[in-house]
Structure 1
Amino acid sequence: MNRNLFIVLLIVFNIAIDQISKIIVRSTLTFKKSVDVIGEYFQLIWVENEGAFLGMGSDMNPTLKLIFLLILPTLVLGYVIYYIFKTKELDRLSLIAFCCIIGGGIANVFDRIVFKQVTDFFFIDLGGVFKTGIFNVADLSVTTGMLILLFSGVFAKKKSKEVSQEA
């Protein structure tokens, strides 16, 4: 498959699954009422987030919100899009990771532009051992992309170290 087409399709796929999931949540769940999926360990709870990650920045004045939650993320996403199209040396795993980050980022920025807030609905609580804030598919895409980049970077360093030791 053409590299540029692959990039566009993967970004669009990430945006689409996020937006479809949010449409389903807004049309089927009751606002702020939890639905147990796997007991109290995994729940769906529809909330609207006016801030960023875990509601941070929701109490900022409108000008700061515009700068930090719309303009700055849009500029960063634009640069990352430019970077992945221009940098042909990226390995496939890193390319997938960047596409997940971009797709999730665009999906949440879209919500901020259209709805002035972001729809969140996943909640995980593993009995105090691990507990999340309420998040959405876009957040999951961004986090997955970051983890893939982290692991691909670690494995790339390990592989280059092995190659240099052999030489």
Structure 2
Amino acid sequence: MKAKGFFRVILILLVLSINIGCDQVSKSIVRRKMDYYDQIGFLHNHITLSKVENAGAFLSLGDSLKGPMRIILLNLFPLIAVLFGLYYILAKTDLNRLTLFSVILIVGGGIGNLYDRIVHGSVTDFMHINFVIFQTGVFNVADVSIMIGMFLLLIQAWLKQKAEPEPGRAVEQ
């Protein structure tokens, strides 16, 4: 492996570790310092912290699954997706920086939530936003990471599509 490739891998693993670390530290603090359903409000309670354990996936989907279906849908499929994402960012050396960063955020968030599900049996969620017309479910730092990564990928795809000429249209010179 060339020095450039080695430093690229180290940088990817460093950013990934920081991402996962921020998620796990925040969840650890919440697990130790908050009781279930305690609420700490900010901005006139539009942003609240409240410890909730999510036994399912996004918005508690699948929390009532049992046995092998639970393991397959909530552990195995996410593990395969995270491993594929990790392979993708390490093997695909021609990714632009924004795409690379976006996928690192998605993989890091996935690893953070998958780790919780495997080690703790559920994912610790603790943030909630309620601005009347905009309200979220309870979420965590890993969820924020995944959403920012997806948002950046969508913006990049939209900008790339806008930059490409429409089929059948002549390009002005």
Unaligned runs of 5+ in 2: none
Deviation at 1:62, TM superposition (A): 2.3
Deviation at 1:160, TM superposition (A): 3.7
> Which of the residues 130, 155, 161 maps onto 1:157?
161
Residue in 2 that maps onto 1:9? 14
Residue in 1 that maps onto 2:146? 142
Residue in 1 that maps onto 2:47? 42
Amino acid at match of 1:165: V
Structure 1 distance, partners of 2:42, 2:29, is 15
Deviation at 1:13, TM superposition (A): 0.9
Residue in 2 that maps onto 1:115? 120
Deviation at 1:161, TM superposition (A): 3.3
Amino acid at match of 2:79: T
Structure 2 distance, partners of 1:122, 1:83, is 30
1:96 and 2:90 matched: no
Match runs of 1:21-32 below 5 Å: 21-32=26-37
Q: Give deviations 1:99-144, integer Å, cap 9, x for gaps.
A: 00000000100001110000000000002x0110000000000010
> Which of the residues 48, 54, 59 maps onto 1:54?
59
Give SS of 1:124's match: strand
1:64 and 2:76 matched: no
Query: Aligned residues: percent identity?
Result: 38
Deviation at 1:156, TM superposition (A): 2.0
| Range that drifts further, 115-124 or 74-83 | 74-83
| Range that drifts further, 30-39 or 87-96 | 30-39
Runs of 4+ in 1 over 6 A off after TM superposition: none
What is the count of residue pairs matched by the alignment? 165
Which structure has the greater CA radius of gyration?
2
CA RMSD of aligned residues (A): 1.6
Structure 1 distance, partners of 2:99, 2:18, is 17
The TM-score with structure 2 as length reference comes to: 0.90
Structure 1 distance, partners of 2:86, 2:72, is 20
